[in-house]
Chains A and B, each alone.
Chain A
Amino acid sequence: MRCEEARAEYLGGETSEAALEHLSSCPRCLAHSPALESMSRLLADPLFWVEPPPELEQTVERLIDTSDPEQVSMAGRRWRWRIIAAAAVLTVAVATGAFLSGRQPLPDWEITTEGIGPGESAVAMIAGWNEVGGTRVVVAAEGLASAPDGYTYELWFIDASSPVSAGTFAVADTPVELFVGVARRDYPRVAVTLEPLDGDATPSAVFVFDTGA
């Protein structure tokens, strides 16, 4: 039996007697044994098989198209300015939250996230305080357009299977304080959608901020 055949059988997980004999006696295959073991282990590792979302390629292309080599450094500066601006807004938001609740102004967690879709040119900073019965949240957004007539923005906490609304808000009201009856550790994904005012209790398909799964 040839080395390659024996190694292929081993990797394929259906090793014949002849292949086993070869692998245990061939000096070259013995030298390759750790690599084979390692490859086999990696292939069985669920982490190895995570797949990027199909739309990621377009996102990368858009990012590069809007930041050609000569403009990238400027884009980077703009991005940093947006973050700085958003950070300033959040400072106000945090202070507001603290004022409203009388608590120390240190959130238990905070997220800075860039907008997507209609919110592409926006940045949001979302801060949360873990409380009994849920999470108090302050949302600050920079560069987000007002929702069109008949629409509103809605903040969602999402776990693997279900979204929970933290409430709706208008851009003019931000920084805005909301409350959701779940904990971030159980609902790690936080998103903002543009919602038609139709009373539907599930998120629309139009996400403007999304921290991902």
Chain B
Amino acid sequence: MDRQRRERFAAGDRSALSDVYGEFGRPIYSLAYRILGDHGLSEEVVQVTLLNAWRGAGRFDPEKDMAPWLYTIARRVAIDIYRRERRHPVTGEADTDIVVLPASLDQTWEAWQVHLALNEITEEEREIVRCTHFLGMTHEQTAEHLGIPVGTVKSRSHRAHTRLARLLSHLEEATA
């Protein structure tokens, strides 16, 4: 997110909210689902995270990157909800104040970074990446699935993966 939009958000400009959702809604939801494994609770995480961020916008420094700030809020919210749910499980387990956090927490920062990298490619390219990795399709199968020529799939795939490889390097350097 560019500095101008960060400044608008920090100043409480309501129109900046949809930009923030557009860039971070998916990563927050995915992070939440990774921890909670529940769609309804993941929606709650997105809502509470963005509400808390909005409430704390005045304390956000627009000179800084918004991603680590939002990640910290989202992770905290997801853990709180995880603890709440584990204390009141649907499975009939006994209530307890000691809640072991899920192992999937370790991967959330990594996944967050990859989501941010995916934000930088177009929706068409994203669809190719999804078909390749998530659905395990070949270029030919992807072409048939999306109804576009194989050559288009290949060029989009090349462009998308080149950008992902480049962005990943940048992200690694930025967080090193």
Asked if B12 is at the interface (CB within 8 A of a chain A CB), the reply is yes
Query: What string of 1s and 0s marks CB contacts (under 8 Å) between A1-22 and chain B?
Result: 0001101111111100000000
Given A9-B161, A47-B34, A48-B114, also A59-B29 (CB < 8 A): no
Asked if B60 is at the interface (CB within 8 A of a chain A CB), the reply is no
Q: Which residues of A contact B90 (CB under 8 A)?
A: 108-109, 111, 128, 184-185, 188
Instruction: Name the prevailing secondary structure of the B interface residues.
Output: helix
Contact in complex: B91, A109 (CB < 8 Å): yes
22 contacts between A and B (CB under 8 A): A4-B162, A8-B161, A8-B164, A12-B157, A14-B139, A35-B169, A35-B172, A47-B33, A47-B104, A51-B29, A53-B39, A56-B47, A57-B18, A60-B25, A61-B17, A64-B54, A67-B51, A108-B92, A128-B90, A130-B92, A211-B40, A213-B39
Q: Which residues of B contact A64 (CB under 8 A)?
A: 14, 17, 50-51, 54
Contact in complex: A51, B50 (CB < 8 Å): no
Which of A38-46, A138-146, A148-156 makes up part of the contact surface? A38-46
Asked if A212 is at the interface (CB within 8 A of a chain B CB), the reply is yes
Minimum CB distance partner of A9 in chain B: B161
Closest Cβ–Cβ distance, residue B85 to chain A (whole Å) = 10
Q: Contact residue range for chain A? A: 35 or more
Closest Cβ–Cβ distance, residue B150 to chain A (whole Å) = 12
**What is the CA–CA distance of A11 and B50 in the complex, to the nearest angstrom?**
32
Which B residues form the contact surface with A (CB < 8 A)? 12, 14, 17-18, 21, 25-26, 29-30, 33-34, 38-43, 46-47, 50-51, 54-55, 57-58, 88-92, 104, 107, 110-111, 114-115, 117, 129-130, 132-134, 136, 139, 157-158, 161-162, 164-166, 168-169, 172
